[in-house]
Amino acid sequence: MNSLSNLIRPDIQAMTAYHVTDVPEGFIKLDAMESPYHPFARQPGLLEKWQQYIAAAPLNLYPNPAASGLQTALQQAFDIPETAKIALGNGSDELIQFITMLLAKPGAAMLAVEPSFVMYRHNAALFGMDYIGVPLNEDFTLDLPAVLSAIERHNPALIFIAYPNNPTGVPFKREEIKTVVQAAQGIVVIDEAYGAFSGDSFLPLAGSSENLIVMRTVSKIGFAGIRLGYAAGHPAVMNELAKILPPYNMNQLSLATAKFAMEHIDAVNETVGLLKAERSRLFAGLSGIGRLKAFESGANFITVRVPDAVEMFEIFRKNNILIKKLHGSHPLLDNCLRITVGSPEQNDAVLAVLKQHLS
Ligand SMILES: Cc1ncc(COP(=O)(O)O)c(C=O)c1O
């Protein structure tokens, strides 16, 4: 056999694997935008009802998403037009991967803003697309003229816009995103992973034009563990995507759980409402801390700039709190940290640490 270094693609050998942090026992985990709540555990009897529901899932059979009724349930729960076609992914990560694969013709380009979700750039590299990263403004708003001129210059086949954006959270203007969709000759994916927390959505426009795909995930609304993302778009594009998605990429337990969640959407919305209220309270608390700048967020996290992010990250660790250190990942994120909005107790713990060190 040839040595592995001769067999495996050199560009992959040069990559580093996505690091999933081991969280020590007892830590408050606020690094990955997970919900602190199990949405079915808050209403009496609902957890048991869900357990009975998934107990009936036919584990001996391959999953059939179309027959599961989930797509229709999503359509009803999230106001997705009937003209749109929905694809399901094992997390929206998988959809990002396959949408990129779909458009990665030799010489084709992907455009995204910077900083944004790291998986866009990663998948461009994986599938050999040219990558164009357009920097945000310093306050993390969209630099629309720069995006439009990059579209004109590079004619990207694929544009990803996280709306709200991760890791900054600062809302982009709806009109600006519409302008990008109109200007693009390629496919624009509006990634609404945090859409439930923003109060705005492009889902009602899904299916209206061939170049728009609206993507969502249930990960941030209490179901990171079931790995389920969905994308809604024009049938002309979604039918092509269907050709390359693995036929059995979803599993019976996730499909059943998501369907149950759609049937009990009030329980899910209740936790989203709690987190939105906590986001306001956390933001007000952060804004009152002298040596810290908190950026307004439309998502379930708040990005802050502190005098020394490396030191502050370590102080959080010593206090058994894990947050995300953004410092070092992009020049615009100098001394920035990202804090997931947690339960009231978790947010109080965050505020207490910051007040003690930065007031
Ligand atoms: C903007 C954005 N899109 C997509 C994802 C992936 O979500 P998932 O694969 O859990 O559905 C994330 C996760 O952090 C994200 O921030």
Structure tokens at 240: 């092509």
**Token representation of residue 20:** 């999933």
Which of ligand 1's atoms lies nearest the C-alpha of 228?
11
- pLDDT for residue 12 is more than 90: yes
Amino acid at 241: L
- The angle that helices 92-103 and 235-244 make with each other, rounded to 10 degrees, is 100
pLDDT, one tens digit per residue, over 293-335 is 999 999 999 999 999 999 999 999 999 999 999 999 999 999 9
- If you take atom 7 of ligand 1, which residue's CA is the nearest one? 92
Interval 129-142: pLDDT, tens: 999 999 999 999 99
Lowest-pLDDT choice from 67-81, 120-134, 231-245, 260-274: 67-81
The best mutation among 19, 21, 35, 92 to test binding of ligand 1, ranked by most ligand atoms within 8 Å of the C-beta, falls on 92
Structural fold of domain 58-264:
Aspartate Aminotransferase; domain 2 (3.40.640)
Task: Tell me which residue has its CA closest to atom 16 in ligand 1.
Answer: 166
pLDDT computed for residue 67 by the predictor: 85
**One-letter amino acid of 153:** R
Residue 116 Cα: closest atom of ligand 1: 1
Closest-lying ligand 1 atom to the alpha carbon of residue 89: 11
Separation of alpha carbons 83 and 70, rounded Å: 16
What is the whole-number distance in angstroms between the Cα of residue 93 and the centre of ligand 1?
A: 6
Helices (H), the chain: 4-7, 10-13, 46-55, 65-68, 70-77, 92-103, 118-126, 144-154, 174-183, 235-244, 252-263, 265-287, 309-318, 344-358
| Residue 1's pLDDT band (cuts 50, 70, 90) | confident
Q: Alpha-carbon distance 244 to 70, whole Å? A: 20
> What is the pLDDT, as a whole number, of residue 36?
98
- Give first-to-last CA distance, the chain, whole Å: 62
Q: Which atom of ligand 1 is nearest to the CA of 94?
A: 9
Domain 4-42+266-358: give its CATH architecture: Alpha-Beta Complex (3.90)
Nearest protein Cα to ligand 1, atom 12: 193
Contacts of 66 (CB under 8 A, 6+ apart): none
> pLDDT at residue 22 above 90?
no
173-228, pLDDT tens digit by residue?
999 999 999 999 999 999 999 999 998 999 999 999 999 999 999 999 999 999 99
pLDDT-derived band at 19, boundaries 50, 70, 90:
confident
List the one residue out of 195, 196, 168 whose CA is nearest residue 112: 168
Which residue type sits at 16?
T
| Pocket-testing residue among 93, 165, 198, ligand 1, by greatest number of atoms within 8 A of Cβ | 93
Going from N- to C-terminal start, the domains of the chain cover 4-42+266-358, 58-264
Instruction: From 217, 220, 221, 324, give the residue whose CB has the most ligand 1 atoms within 8 Å, as the site to mutate.
Output: 217
Report the percentage of the chain scoring pLDDT > 90.
94
Predicted confidence at residue 2, as pLDDT, reads 87
In the structure encoding, which two tokens stand for residue 191, read together?
């990634």
- Rounded to whole angstroms, the Cα distance separating 282 from 338 reads 13
Distance 355 CA to ligand 1 centre (A): 30
Global model pTM greater than 0.95: yes
Query: Residues in the chain, how many?
Result: 359
Ligand 1: residues with CB < 6 A are 33, 91-93, 117, 162, 166, 191, 193, 217, 219, 224, 229
Atom of ligand 1 nearest to the CA of 224: 10
Residues 233, 213 contacting (CB under 8 angstroms): yes
Q: Which atom of ligand 1 is nearest to the CA of 217?
A: 11
Residue indicated by tokens 């170049």: 211
**224 C-alpha to ligand 1 centroid (Å):** 9
What is the average pLDDT across 76-89? 95
Q: Which atom of ligand 1 is nearest to the CA of 32?
A: 14
CA distance 108 to 102: 11
Per-residue pLDDT band for 18 (boundaries 50, 70, 90) equals confident
- Residue 164 CA to ligand 1 center (angstroms) comes to 11
Amino acid at 74: L
Q: Give me the mean pLDDT over the 240-247 stretch.
A: 96
CA distance 214 to 49: 31
Mean pLDDT of 101-111: 98
Q: Cα separation of 221 and 217, whole Å? A: 8
* Residue 303: DSSP 8-state: E
What's the CA gap between 85 and 258, in Å, rounded?
18
**Comparing 47-56, 65-74, 259-268, which segment has the lowest mean pLDDT?**
65-74
The pLDDT of residue 199 is 87
